[in-house]
């Protein structure tokens, strides 16, 4: 690609996310491995640093709110392009016409949650520097195809010579569109085409090629994203400080009073094990509470963690602890369940919430547990933090290895 083509060109990423999904209602924001589905691709797009703007095209208020929380701009699509039979290219054309300042558009599939920044860096380079007009995602498959027939008609092979049937290791396979993304110039897209002009493809390895269309796909995608998903710009040394809210996180947010006026609360043993696992990894765990409770104080002592009772501003206290340990925010994880926790959740590298947390907290948290507070949510959060730590340790090696296969 010439330098003239590069100069002052606006490259936008666009995620199409209408609210009327039939297979899985509101699947674009359904939690997948603790995050709204759309968050997985938005995080990768934004962290890539490749785009001048990142957009979500939607007709739904809740999808809009979550998209904004994850750093995207929102384009409110029309009823026509939000209809069940509307095509993706029609939605892209509508967006392009409303934004004449945009020169290149990378349309990214919301239902491809294993997208990484390096997956979009390749296509952007191909369009910006190598002169391609369109680039789309493919994956390699080793499947023998046969012609479909009806009745008693014989079938014939389409990509196979039965007399010379190759072993898998002796056959390169075929490149198949996986639908993860379609990048193109403004002119090409406005002509109604995703592929045209100088066409190129970008191969995604099979482990990253995940698509979600039906309920059957969901548990498979969840397992895949936990292993191969992009977990953000966590530092290689990982999380060093985990702070947990007390009521509604460690407890079920209920206070029980006996007939004699004594107060008691219950704690989940699985949560205790989760905290101990973090401690064995060298992570410091602290508890924070708005009120005063001798029961919480005794529980913290039993766990071997510090507790701050009567905390009026949790964000201020969290920042003080962070500075004491000279940590960056990416090395801090926080879990809370209500409005007073929101600033701390948003600021932390990993901000978690129990499954029964306040709606506004669930919207802004980047990990939402399946379990409610006091019922295993802390264990789930601890497991997630450990997973992110393990991913962080291998993140550099993983990206470098991937780059070697691409460039």
Q: Which of 18, 165, 347, 375 is catalytic?
A: 165
CA–CA separation, 352 and 242 (whole Å)? 10
Decide: 251 and 260 in contact? Cβ < 8 Å: no
Decide: 111 and 27 in contact? Cβ < 8 Å: yes
Q: Is 75 in a helix, a strand, or coil?
A: strand
The DSSP secondary-structure symbol of 172 reads -
Cα dist. 212→119, 202, 215, 363 in Å? 18, 20, 8, 21
- Give the position of tokens 């994203």: 225
CA–CA separation, 211 and 150 (whole Å)? 30
DSSP states of 185-218 = EHHHHHTT-SS-SSEEEEEPPGGG-----STTHH
Neighbours of 367 (CB within 10 A): 22
Q: From 46, 23, 43, 25, select the one nearest 34 (Cα to Cα).
A: 43
165 in catalytic set: yes
Decide: 348 and 329 in contact? Cβ < 8 Å: yes
As annotated, the active-site residues are 165
């Amino acid at each position: 690609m010439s330098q003239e083509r590069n100069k002052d060109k606006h490259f936008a990423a666009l995620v199409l996310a209408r609210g009327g999904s039939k297979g899985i209602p509101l699947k674009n924001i359904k939690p997948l491995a603790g995050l709204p589905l759309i968050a997985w691709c938005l995080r990768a797009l934004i962290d890539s640093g490749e785009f001048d703007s990142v957009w979500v095209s939607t007709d739904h208020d809740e999808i809009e709110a979550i998209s904004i929380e994850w750093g995207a701009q929102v384009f409110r699509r029309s009823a026509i392009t939000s209809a069940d039979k509307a095509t993706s290219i029609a939605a892209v054309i509508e967006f392009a016409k409303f934004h004449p300042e945009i020169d290149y558009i990378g349309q990214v599939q919301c239902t491809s949650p294993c997208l990484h920044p390096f997956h979009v860096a390749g296509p952007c380079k191909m369009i910006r520097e190598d002169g391609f007009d369109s680039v789309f995602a493919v994956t390699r498959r080793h499947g023998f195809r046969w012609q479909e027939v009806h009745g008693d008609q014989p079938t014939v092979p389409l990509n196979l010579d039965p007399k010379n049937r190759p072993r898998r290791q002796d056959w390169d396979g075929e490149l198949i569109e996986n639908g993860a993304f379609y990048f193109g110039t403004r002119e090409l897209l406005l002509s109604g085409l995703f592929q045209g002009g100088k066409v190129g493809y970008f191969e995604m390895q099979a482990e990253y090629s995940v698509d979600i269309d039906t309920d059957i796909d969901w548990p498979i995608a969840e397992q895949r994203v936990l292993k191969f998903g992009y977990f953000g710009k966590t530092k290689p040394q990982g999380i060093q400080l985990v702070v947990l809210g007390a009521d509604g996180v460690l407890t079920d947010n209920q206070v029980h009073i006996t007939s004699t006026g004594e107060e008691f609360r219950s704690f989940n043993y699985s949560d205790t094990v989760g905290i101990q696992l973090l401690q064995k990894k060298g992570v410091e765990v602290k508890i924070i509470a708005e009120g005063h409770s001798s029961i919480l104080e005794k529980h913290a002592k039993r766990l071997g963690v510090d507790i701050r009772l009567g905390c009026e501003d949790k964000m201020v206290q969290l920042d003080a602890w962070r500075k004491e340990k000279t940590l960056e925010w990416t090395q801090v994880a926080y879990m809370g369940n209500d409005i007073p926790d929101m600033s701390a959740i948003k600021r932390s590298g990993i901000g978690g919430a129990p499954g029964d947390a306040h709606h506004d907290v669930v919207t802004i948290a980047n990990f939402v547990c399946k379990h409610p507070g006091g019922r295993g949510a802390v264990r789930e959060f601890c497991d997630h933090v450990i997973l992110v730590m393990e991913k962080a340790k291998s993140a550099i090696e993983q990206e470098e290895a991937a780059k070697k296969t691409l460039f």
